Amino acid sequence: MSSHNNSTPGQRFRDAVASEQPLQVVGAINANHALLAKRAGFKAIYLSGGGVAAGSLGVPDLGITGLDDVLTDVRRITDVCDLPLLVDVDTGFGSSAFNVARTVKSMIKFGAAALHIEDQVGAKRCGHRPNKEIVSQQEMVDRIKAAVDARTDDSFVIMARTDALAVEGLESALERAAACIEAGADMVFPEAITELDMYKLFAARVKAPILANITEFGATPLYTVEQLKSADVSLVLYPLSAFRAMNKAAENVYTAIRRDGTQQNVIDTMQTRMELYDRIDYHTFEQKLDALFAAKK
C-alpha cells in the first residue's frame, strides 16, 4: 500500500476511470475477495449494499443495514487492499442532510474512494425489483448537495444513482441525472437500464462518467465491455458475480458433506491450503515471525 501514499483513494479512482475505458469495477464481498480481485488485475473494486445485507447480515436488501454495518466491511477491505473502493450507501443511512454528511465523512475516514447514493425512499428495495419508490427530484438534489458539502477531501467521488427509469421513465431519469451533476455529483449511475442506447443518452445529457450496472438475473442484459464502450459508458459494475458463485459453491459442498459423509467428492471445487496461503501472503507473515523469534534468541 505504501506505493500509493502520494495520492488519495478518490484520486486513484478518478485516475482508473480515466485510464481504462470503460473501467471494470468488480464486487468484493470481503477483504479476501478484494485481494483476489486485485490479483486478477482489476483497477477498482466495489462493496454492494445488497451484498453487505445478504453476505454479512443474512438479511434482504430492504434498508435493514445500518452505516456501521457497511463501515465494518469497508474498513476490513481498505486495511488490506489499496485498490480504490466504490461503496453503495443506499439512501445515505438516515433521513436528514446530517445523516448524509456523516456517511460521507465516515466513508472517507475509513478509506473508501467513492460512494453512490440513490433517489429511493428510505424503505428502499433492490434496484432490480418491482415496486420501487423514489423521492422528489428536489430531495435527491438535496442529498447530493449534502454529500458534496460534507466532503473533507475534494478528490473523493460522489456518484448519483437514480432509480427513476423503472418508476417514472427515461426522461425523468435523464432530468434527475442532469440535476445531480448540476448539484455537484461527479458521476452518474442510472439503475436498471433496459436498452444499450439509453446509456448514450445519459452520457450526452450529463457530460460526466456513466456507470453501467451489469448485475446478473436483473433488468439489464449482460452487455460486454465492447458494447458498453460503444454506448459511451465509463464504468462497468459487476456487483455480486463472485458472491453468487461463492454461495453456489458453498451450498454444493455443504450438501455433499451431509449426503456423502465425506468431502472427498467435492475436493476439486476447493481452493487448496497452499492457494489460500499464497493469496493472503501467509509466508511473508510467517517469515516475519521467524525473524522475530531468531532476533530474540
- How far is residue 113's CA from residue 202's CA, in Å, rounded to a whole number? 23
Which residue out of 12, 116, 128, 151 is catalytically annotated? Answer: 116
In angstroms, the Cα distances linking 230 to 43, 196, 216 are 21, 9, 21
Does residue 142 have an active-site annotation? no
Which residue out of 32, 73, 81, 118 is catalytically annotated? Answer: 118
Residue-wise burial string across 250-267, b where 16 or more C-beta atoms lie within 10 A, e elsewhere: eeebeebeeeeeeeeebe
Which residue out of 191, 199, 223, 238 is catalytically annotated? Answer: 191
Which residues does the annotation place in the binding site for Mg(2+)?
Answer: 88, 90
Does residue 153 have an active-site annotation? no
Q: Which of 184, 186, 14, 160 is nearest to 84 (CA)?
A: 14
Which residues does the annotation place in the binding site for substrate?
Answer: 48-50, 126-127, 161, 191, 213-215, 244, 273
Q: Using CA atoms in the order 53, 159, 154, 52, what is the torsion angle rounded to 10 degrees?
A: 10
Q: For residue 238, which phi and psi values (nearest 5 degrees)?
A: -120, 85
Does residue 116 have an active-site annotation? yes
Does residue 213 have an active-site annotation? yes
Does residue 118 have an active-site annotation? yes
- How far is residue 270's CA from residue 26's CA, in Å, rounded to a whole number? 22
- How far is residue 110's CA from residue 201's CA, in Å, rounded to a whole number? 35
For residue 240, with 0-12 CB atoms within 10 Å meaning exposed, 13-18 middle and 19 or more buried, which class applies?
A: buried
Which residue out of 12, 161, 163, 180 is catalytically annotated? Answer: 161
Which residue out of 12, 30, 46, 199 is catalytically annotated? Answer: 46
Which residue out of 61, 119, 163, 186 is catalytically annotated? Answer: 61
Which residue out of 30, 32, 90, 199 is catalytically annotated? Answer: 90
End-to-end CA distance of the chain: 31
Does residue 277 have an active-site annotation? no
Does residue 161 have an active-site annotation? yes
Q: Which residues contact 114 (CB under 8 A, 6 or more apart)?
A: 9, 10, 13, 84, 85, 86, 87, 156, 157, 158, 159, 186, 187
Does residue 223 have an active-site annotation? no
Does residue 82 have an active-site annotation? no
- How far is residue 73's CA from residue 75's CA, in Å, rounded to a whole number? 5
Does residue 168 have an active-site annotation? no
- How far is residue 199's CA from residue 20's CA, in Å, rounded to a whole number? 18
Which residues does the annotation place in the binding site?
Answer: 48-50, 88, 90, 126-127, 161, 191, 213-215, 244, 273
Which residue out of 126, 143, 180, 199 is catalytically annotated? Answer: 126
**Residue numbers annotated as active site:** 46, 61, 88, 90, 116, 118, 126, 161, 191, 213
